[in-house]
Amino acid sequence: MSDFRYDAVVAETWGDLTGEDIPERARETIARLGGDAEVSAPFAAIHVPEWLLKEKSVDTVEGSDTVVYTRILQASEKAIEVKYAGEHDWLPKSQITIFHVGDRIHSPTKTLDSWGDA
Total tally of structural domains belonging to the chain: 1
Structural domain boundaries, residue 94: 9-106
Provide the pLDDT confidence category of residue 118 given band limits of 50, 70 and 90. Answer: very low
> Mind spelling out the 3-state secondary structure of 10-44?
EECCHHHHHCCCCCHHHHHHHHHHHHHCCECCCEE
Q: For 48-70, write each residue's pLDDT tens digit.
A: 999 999 998 788 888 889 999 88
Residue 3 lies in a domain: no
pTM > 0.85: yes or no: no
Tell me, what CATH number does 91's domain have? 2.30.30
SS3 (DSSP) at 105: coil
Please compute the mean of the pLDDT values over residues 12-34 and round it to a whole number: 82
Q: Is residue 50 part of a domain?
A: yes
Task: Read off the pLDDT band of 94 (50, 70, 90).
Answer: very high
Who wins on pLDDT, 29 or 39?
29
